[in-house]
Amino acid sequence: MANANAEIGVIGGSGFYSFLEDVTEVEVDTPYGKPSDSLFLGEIAGRRVAFLPRHGRGHHLPPHRINYRANLWALRSVGARQVLGPCAVGGLRVEYGPGTLVVPDQLVDRTKARAQTFYDGETPVDGRLPNVVHVAFADPYCPAGRRAALAAARGREWEPADGGTLVVIEGPRFSTRAESRWHAAAGWSVVGMTGHPEAVLARELGLCYTSLALVTDLDAGAETGEGVSHEEVLTVFAANVDRLRNVLFDAVAGLPADEARDCLCGRALDGLDTGITLP
C-alpha cells in the first residue's frame, strides 16, 4: 500500500489492463468493505493508472451486488482523482445501434436497492461518523473527462455520440418492452446497470468521473426481435473491446494533470463539513 499511487482510476474489465507490462496488484480494504477485486496499477503514457475490474476478475458480481462505495473509496485511497468508467449499455434509439460509443452528459437513476452515499450517518471512518452531506449533482459527469473521451474517440476515427442521458436500472434482468419504450419516450439515450451509483459516489469523494458507454444491443423497445440476450451483449462487447481500450488509453493520456484541473468536481465538498477525513 505504501508505494501504491495512481492519479487516474479506470473501472472496467480485465481486457483493459491484462496485457500491460509491470502491473502491480494491490489489495485495498475500505471502511465500506472490500472492492470488487484488487487494484491493478500500471502506467499509460506516463500516467499512473489504477484499474479495477468492476465485476471482479472472474466477472462474478452482478451489477446490484457490486460494492460501489468500496470501489470508489479504494481508488481515491491510492491517489486517483479522475475516474473513467467504461460500461456496456443498450441503445434506446435506433440510431444508437451496436458499436455506438456514447459519452453521456446526463444520468437518470432507476436503481432500487443500492448504497449510494458515503454520508450515511452509520459507517464510521477512523472512528468518526459522517455528517449529513448533500452534494450538487446537476451535471453528473466531468466536463474535462468528457472532452478527453470525445477527443480520444475521434482520434481513433470512432465518432462518438456527444452527450445524452444514461438511465440506470437495477437489473440484473433486462427491460421489458414497455419499460424500454417508456425510457425512450422520456428522451433518454441509453440504458445500463452500473452507471449509478458509481457517478454520484465519485462526486461525493470529489473525484472527476466520466462514463464511456458502449452500445452492445438495441434495447427491447427499440428492436423488433426477441429482445436483448446476454450472449448478444458479450459478443458485441468482445468485438469492440480493442478499440474501446485504445480510446480509453488515449483518454487517459488526454486527461489534465491533477493540478491543472479546472472543473468543479474536486471542489464538490468545499464548504461542507463531512465529519470524516477522505483517504
Q: Does residue 98 have a cis peptide bond before it, meaning omega lies within 30 degrees of 0?
A: no
Choice among 120, 219, 258, 262 that is catalytic? 219
- Is 14 known as a binding-site position? yes
Of 95-103, 157-165, 213-221, 258-266, the window that binds Zn ion (rule: CB under 5 A) is 258-266
Site string for Zn ion, 189-228 (x = CB under 5 A): -------------------x--------------------
Give the 3-state secondary structure of residue 105.
coil
Q: How far is the CB of 210 from Zn ion (least distance, A)?
A: 8
**Residue 58 near residue 18, CB atoms below 8 Å:** no
Q: Which residues pair with 210 in a beta bridge?
A: 84
148 binds Zn ion (CB under 5 A): no
Which residues touch 176 (CB under 8 Å, ≥6 apart)?
220
Q: Does the annotation count 270 as an active-site position?
A: no
- Is 39 known as a binding-site position? no
Query: Which CB sits closer to Zn ion, 166 or 208?
Result: 208
244 binds Zn ion (CB under 5 A): no
Rounded (10°) CA dihedral 247, 242, 38, 204:
30
Distances (CA, A) of 123 to 33, 118, 127: 10, 8, 9
Q: How far is the CB of 33 from Zn ion (least distance, A)?
A: 26
DSSP code for 30: B
Q: Which of 26, 125, 202, 265 binds Zn ion (CB under 5 A)?
A: 265
> How far apart are alpha carbons 155 and 149 in whole angstroms?
10
263 binds Zn ion (CB under 5 A): yes
> How far apart are alpha carbons 91 and 228 in whole angstroms?
11
Q: Does the annotation count 262 as an active-site position?
A: no
Query: Which CB sits closer to Zn ion, 50 or 142?
Result: 142
CB atoms within 10 A of CB 1: 10
83 binds Zn ion (CB under 5 A): no
- How many residues are recorded in the chain? 279
Q: Which of 68, 40, 34 is nearest to 54 (CA)?
A: 68
Give the 3-state secondary structure of residue 234.
helix
Q: Which of 66, 88, 101, 142 binds Zn ion (CB under 5 A)?
A: 142
Query: Which CB sits closer to Zn ion, 196 or 203?
Result: 203
Query: Which CB sits closer to Zn ion, 83 or 190?
Result: 83
Contacts with Zn ion by CB under 5 A lie at 142, 208, 263, 265
Catalytic positions are 217, 219
Annotated binding site for phosphate: 14, 54-55, 194
